[in-house]
Structure 1
């Protein structure tokens, strides 16, 4: 059996190496789970973020890498058990010259420009916090947004706190700031997604996730990509 997986370039979760091989925390998780359920071949499709949902709905591929679960998205696709729980954060130029630590801080500065990737949940989060459309610059993908940040065309790039942390660790010109979150609020969760007609694959993946998530092997693999116990423990109950 072969499974086709769509992904985007967004380290540390999924990206394409210089040798054109595909890697990342969620790519490795998908491979471990799919091999365990008997999949013999995995085919990766690099696409733009806004193609993920329509592509899997139309059967152009069989599953998507994990993205944030939202009610609107759940109306269109079937999500697996959650595989991580991660809050938002900003990637900024070293020193954070405009002191941007939250969406509200961006909204309070009319001269602040925030980079976001088309179709991602951070757009709604920013607007809900009062960030104006004139302050938002939308990009097709993460590499374009990071390049604009380094060029000074935007002041911050909003994405996952984990992803930003990894990017900042690889570039001395950048730093990452995690957004504050009330202790009682659960971090948003991410999950694989499938066509609603593909229940057989969904059930098989969920059964294996229930056995594998939180295991020593799972934790060790995710740690190599910068995911901590916090990001994993926030979803263990959801896979059982």
Structure 2
């Protein structure tokens, strides 16, 4: 049995390694769970964030790596049991020269430009806090946004706090700042997603997740990528939200 899974470039969750193969915390999780339910072959498809939901909905592949669960997305795809809970954060230049610690702080300064990726939950969080359209610059992916930050074209890039910490740890010119996005709890939950016409795979993955999440092996694998008890304990034993 072969399962096709899509991913994007967003360390430490998923990215393409130096050897050209997908790697990352959620890649390892997918491989352990899929092998555990009898999958013999995994085919990875690198794509863009904007193509995640259309691609799996149209069955161009079978599942997506974990993304945030939202009510709007749950109308388009089926989500697995949650696999992590993570808040928002900013990537800023070292020492955070404009003291950007929240979306409200961005909105309060007309000279600040915020980098975002279209359709990610951070776009809604920024706009809800009053960040104006002319303060927002959109990018295709994390590497493109980080390059713009390094070049001074934006003052901050909003993504997951964990992902930003991982990026800053490898680049002394950048700092990571955790922010309070003010999002409802469900929007902080990440899960695999599937076509609504493929309930068998979703349920098989859920069965695998129920037996694996929170185990010593799971915690050890995730710890390599910066995950702590905070990101894991909040979802262990939780049922799917959609």
Provide TM-score, normalisation by structure 2. Answer: 0.96
**What root-mean-square deviation, in Å, do the aligned CA atoms of Structure 1 and Structure 2 show?**
1.4
Shift of 1:186: 7.3
What is the aligned partner in structure 1 of residue 222 from structure 2? 222
Hey, what does 1:170 align to over in structure 2? 170
Q: Secondary structure at the match of 2:172?
A: coil
Structure 1 gaps of 5+ residues are: none
Give the aligned partner of residue 79 of structure 1: 79
Take 1:186 and 1:60, find their aligned partners in 2: how far apart are those partners? 27
Q: Which position in structure 2 is the counterpart of 1:92? A: 92
The DSSP-based 3-state class of the residue aligned with 1:237 is: coil
Shift of the alpha carbon at 1:19? 1.7
Once the two structures are overlaid, the 10-residue window that deviates more, 62-71 or 172-181, is 172-181
Correspondence for 1:59: 59
Q: Displaced runs of 4+ in structure 1, greater than 2 A?
A: 184-187
Give 1:138's aligned residue: 138
Contact kept, 8 Å, 1:213 with 1:239, in 2: the verdict is no
Report 1:84-123 matches (<5 A).
84-123=84-123
Aligned residue runs from structure 1 range 156-235, under 5 A: 156-180=156-180, 188-235=188-235
Residue ranges of structure 2 left out of the alignment (5+ in a row): none
- Asked if 1 retains the 8 angstrom alpha-carbon contact of 2:69 and 2:187, the reply is no
Shift of 1:237: 2.7
Summarize deviations over 1:59-117 as a string: whole Å, max 9, x none.
10000000000000000000000000000000000010100001000000000000001
Matches within 5 A, 1:23-62: 23-62=23-62
Q: How many residue pairs were aligned?
A: 239
TM-score normalised to the size of structure 1? 0.97
